[in-house]
Amino acid sequence: MDLQLFWFVLIGVLWAGYFLLEGFDFGVGMLLPFLPRTERERDVMFETIGPVWDGNEVWLVVAGGATFAAFPTWYATMFSGFYLALLLILVFLIIRVVSFEWREKGHTPGWRAVWTTANVVGSVGASFLWGVALSNLVHGVPLDSDGGWAGSFVDLFSVYTVLGGISVVLLFAFHGATFLTVRTTGDLCVRAGRAARRLSLPAAAVGAAFLVWTVVVAVDRNDKDVFPPVVPCALAIAALVLALVFVQRRRSGLAFAATAFGAVLLVATLFTSLYPRVLVSSPDFGNSLTVDNASSSHYALAVMTVVALIFTPLVLLYQGWTYYVFRARVGGDGPDPAEPAEILPGPAESA
């Protein structure tokens, strides 16, 4: 395989892993104001992601490092042009990280409420801006003839990119709700299932609209054919529809798997719509950055490939082991429910 293509695919896989794993982390944070009725239930929600959230962030760090090493021009242009947006994302991530630690430093209701709110704000803000940022890769940004940034912060926001941000927020919230149905017990699990059912239709509808529009943008602004971007697009829409069906039928495990596939396939749609470019230039399409004019030397890519082939499986094994160790359900008032009964509606909902 061509090394430039290999590293483009690998970076896409890293982003897909980040959306898959950090997606439900963010989703749990977004649901903190709505699901728990007691402080203990709020603690349980934090405990479901407590052992893994920092490991999930590694996917983002490695994706950024891989971009810097394999496509330095892409990295330089993106980080200079998206500087304010990425700075805001960093602020949201810092706020969120601090909230995990500082929330446990005090036990007064006010103190805990402040840091719970910080986690919510960080989760929503980072998710929205990631959606906006990745959408801009395909939609196009102003670049000069040297591939340098020639726009402003406002240029990052259009109807399409804002829709991308909203769709990511809804998808992550839906993904977080299905995650809680397989990680919690008792009344909290019931309410998580209820939230998943309420989120399923807007997440599927908005996500499908964004995915279809992404294919249209790829054809219109990136000189792509409908095939192959339509393939991951169709699969992603199918995954979201299946997730909707599964949550309605109280099949929590299958619903979580479907939202996970939806998150991965959303990234696959964006990257398939992008290749062979890594950053589309608009309005001057000729200034776009491609895998050819933005990549490192062949020797550098070859050395990096050897390192990646050695260490990537080790990282995957370690993270898989972590999830296996912390696979048990957390908290709840009743016994561990069996699927599909764990998200059966309560008496109030049935009425």
Which tens digit of pLDDT belongs to each residue from 271-283? 999 999 999 999 9
pLDDT at 1: 55
Residue 252 has pLDDT above 60, yes or no: yes
Position 296 scores a pLDDT of 96
Give the model confidence (pLDDT) of 255-264 as tens digits.
Answer: 999 999 999 9
* C-alpha closest to that of 280 among 74, 117, 14: 74
Compute the average pLDDT of residues 27-34: 97
d(CA 292, CA 228): 20
Q: Assign 147 a pLDDT band (cuts: 50, 70, 90).
A: confident
pLDDT at 44: 95
In this prediction, residue 332 carries a pLDDT of 52
Query: Residues 163-170: what's their mean pLDDT?
Result: 98
pLDDT at 345 over 70: no
Q: How far apart are CA 162 and CA 142, in angstroms?
A: 17
Q: Which of 259, 132, 238 is nearest to 195 (CA)?
A: 259
Write the pLDDT tens digit of every residue in 307-344.
999 998 998 999 999 999 998 998 755 443 333 444 44
pLDDT of residue 342: 43
pLDDT of residue 334: 43
Question: Going by C-beta distance under 8 Å and a sequence separation of 6 or more, which residues neighbour residue 242?
Answer: 254, 258
pLDDT tens digits, one per residue of 187-216: 999 999 999 999 999 999 999 999 999 999
Given a cut of 70, whether residue 347 has pLDDT beyond it is no
Residue 351 has pLDDT above 60, yes or no: no
Q: Are 270 and 168 in contact (CB under 8 A)?
A: no
Mean pLDDT over all residues of the chain? 92
Please list the residues that pair with 281 across neighbouring strands: 141
pTM summary value: 0.92
Q: Does 101 have pLDDT greater than 80?
A: yes
Per-residue model confidence as pLDDT tens digits over 31-89 = 999 999 999 999 999 999 989 998 899 999 999 999 999 999 999 999 989 999 999 99
First to last CA, the chain: 59
Report which of 225, 214, 183, 181 is spatially closest to residue 199, judged by C-alpha positions. 181
**Which one has a higher pLDDT value, 166 or 343?**
166
Give residue 300's identity as a one-letter amino acid code: A
pLDDT recorded at residue 331: 76
Q: Are 132 and 84 in contact (CB under 8 A)?
A: no
pLDDT for the residue numbered 335: 42
- Which carries the bigger pLDDT value, residue 350 or residue 142? 142
Please report, rounded to a whole number, the percentage of residues in the chain having pLDDT higher than 90: 84
d(CA 123, CA 30): 6
CB 11 within 8 A of CB 63: yes
- How would DSSP label each residue in 306-328? HHHHHHHHHHHHHHHHHHHHT-S
Q: Calculate mean pLDDT across residues 134-143.
A: 96
Asked whether the beta carbons of 214 and 270 are under 8 A apart, the reply is: yes
Do residues 56 and 18 lie in contact, with contact meaning Cβ atoms separated by under 8 Å?
Answer: yes
